[in-house]
Amino acid sequence: MGFYDLTVTNAQGEEVSLKNYEGKVVMVVNTATGCGFTPHYKPMEEMYEDFKDRGFDIIDVPCNQFAGQTPGTDEEIHEFCTLKYNTQFPQMKKSDVNGENTIPLFAFLKEHAGFEGFGKGPAALAMNVMAKKNDKNYKDSPDIKWNFTKFIVDRNGNVVKRFEPTEDMKKVRAFVEGIL
C-alpha cells in the first residue's frame, strides 16, 4: 500500500483520497492549538502561500494526544487557526497519531520515516527529557513524540524526510524548496 492509496478524514467528516495530492510535494503534520510549537503555523502558512503554485500542499492533522493541547472541536480548531494564523491549507479531523486508534496515514508515515532524534540545542534537550519521562525507550520507537512532527512526501508519494518539532522551520522550508 502506498501514500496515494490512503484516505484521511477532513474537518467536515468527509473522506479525502490522497490521490488528490499525486504529483505534489506534501507536508503532513500533527498540530495543536495550545502548544509551545503552535507558532509553527505562521511559517507553515508562509510556505503554503509561497509554494502552493509550485505544487506544494500541507495536510494538517490536529491531535490531542500530547498533554491535551488541542482540546477544541474541529470547528473551534479551524477558527483558531484561521483567525490567529490566517491558515488556508487543508485541515483534517482531529485524530490520533499513536496508539490503537492511529489513523492509517500516520501508521504509514511512521513506518517509512522513524524517529531519528530531536537534534541539538535547548529545545531538543527539553524534548529528550520529556520523551524519556513518557517512554524510557522512546528512541527505539517510530511513534510521534510531540505536536508539530512534520513528514515530507515527494511528488511520487515517497516519504523522504521526517522533521521533529524542535527542527528550525527555516530548515524545513529549505528542504521543501529543494525538492519542489
Of 45, 72, 71, 42, residue with least CA distance to 57: 45
Of 95, 102, 36, 13, residue with least CA distance to 60: 95
Beta strands in 89-129 (DSSP E): none
Q: Which residues pair with 102 in a beta bridge?
A: 96
Find where cell 474537518 sits.
11
Task: Please tell me the distance from the alpha carbon of residue 4 to that of residue 137, in angstroms, as a whole number.
Answer: 32
Active-site residue among 11, 16, 35, 124? 35
Answer positive or negative: Cα dihedral of 99, 104, 106, 110.
positive
Find where cell 494538517 sits.
60
> Which DSSP symbol is given to 47?
H
Active site residue 63: no
Task: Please tell me the distance from the alpha carbon of residue 28 to that of residue 109, in angstroms, as a whole number.
Answer: 9
Q: Is 37 helix (H, G, I), strand (E, B) or coil?
A: coil
Q: What are the catalytic residues? A: 35
